[in-house]
Structure 1
Amino acid sequence: MPSEDDVECEEIRESGDGWVGSERDYTYDELLERAFNQLREKNPEMATGEKKKFIMKPPQVVRIGSKKTAFANFAEICRLLHRMPKHVLQFLLAELGTSGSTDGSNQLIIKGRFQQKQIENVLRRYIKEYVTCHTCRSPDTILQKDARLYFLQCEQCNSRCSVAPIKSGFQAVANKQQRQAIRASKN
């Protein structure tokens, strides 16, 4: 007649976790297989072996007259990135070195003539710095502001790191008094 310990060991082997209560030395291959099995159980999307690629819609750029450019799907791209339009706007304007604002239909109107390729490159830099996780490259992140610093919190790997503040672009000083005041404050 089998003892209680024998019955318990049989139940453990049938459940697939034959590691509990055992004191034998396991081979590297057995340990590796166990680790990958646990990873696959906890992350079903990993079982296929394919990484989800982050695909972004291209910006729709239209010229308005000869001195302005409209970024038509600005609000939609901000929504896809899960970022506040104010933050994306600040980055775009700083990187392009111009001024602009959103209109009633949530288009971004930028002062100056810009091509789609230029805006696309700036968006790529924004995504690299403020959207994708610096540890696991996942786009599932949250941008949080804590005491004047922005932190990127990853939803996949729970990594948290600070990101660089947005540096404002060049601002021309129009009149002589402002230039003199700036020079005086520097000295």
Structure 2
Amino acid sequence: MADESNENKKEVKDDEQEILRRVFNILRENSPELVGIWLLTIIWPPQVLREETAKGTKKTVFVNFMDYCKTMHRNPDHVMAFLLAELGTKGKLDDQQRLVVRGRFTQRDFESLLRGYILDYVMCIPCKSTEAILSKENRLFFLRCGKCGSGRPVAPIKINFGRR
């Protein structure tokens, strides 16, 4: 009986996330100016699993990592480098395109880091649009907005330096 209720809860949660994705995509098509605000306020929860290997190594798996990269229109390598640097650990993409990170991290850890990434590398500050393009010019990264035309330099990702 408990297994059925857990399965039902999981199905409802998956349905809610699918509805949220559909609303977000419709909003992106019809009102792109609102997408930036929505992207920050309604980040669907990262799906995080914990794995323990036979050697006792603890790993955290960010299951819907590629969904976030596609939604933000960012290169997965750049997002992964940011997350790993901020978490202060090592990781890689597995065969299923999930981010596997060494160590124990929570859903909240990933959620707060993704919000920081969006503010630093995705969102245009003046107009709050997410139509900004990240480019590298003369060894510096620039964020140029496709909507208002403004641009700003962004900090490079610092390897081996993080919040933890």
Q: Secondary structure at the match of 2:134?
A: strand
Contact 2:34 2:129 in 1 (8 A): no
User: Number of residue pairs matched?
Assistant: 125
Q: Deviations over 1:53-82 (max 9, x none)?
A: 323332111001161000001111101000
Q: Tell me if structure 2 keeps the 8 A contact 1:54–1:139.
A: no
CA–CA distance in 2 between the matches of 1:149 and 1:69? Answer: 32
CA RMSD of aligned residues (A): 2.2
Q: How does 1:82-121 map onto structure 2 within 5 Å?
A: 82-121=73-112
Instruction: Tell me which structure has the larger Cα radius of gyration.
Output: 1
Partner of 1:70: 61
The aligned residue for residue 126 of structure 2 is: 135
SS in 2 for 1:54: helix
For 1:37-186, what aligned pairs fall within 5 Å after superposition? 51-52=34-35, 53-55=37-39, 56-65=43-52, 67-170=58-161
Name the structure, 1 or 2, with higher relative contact order (CA <8 Å, separation 6+): 2
Normalising by structure 1, report the TM-score. Answer: 0.62
Deviations, residues 136-172 of structure 1 (Å, cap 9, x unaligned): 111111111112111101111011111011111259x
After TM superposition, the score normalised by the length of structure 2 is 0.70
Change (3 A) 1:106 1:51: closer
Q: How far apart, in 1, do the equivalents of 2:147 and 2:63 lie?
A: 31
Q: CA contact under 8 A between 2:93 and 2:99: conserved in structure 1?
A: yes
CA contact (8 A) 2:60 2:105 kept: yes
Structure 2's unaligned 5+ residue stretches are: 1-29
Residue number in structure 1 paired with 2:14: none
* Partner-residue secondary structure (3-state), 1:169: coil
CA contact 2:50–2:104 (8 Å) conserved in 1 = yes
Greater helix content: 2
Counterpart AA for 2:89: T
User: Cα gap change, 1:104/1:51 in structure 2, threshold over 3 Å: closer, same or farther?
Assistant: closer
Q: Percent identity?
A: 47
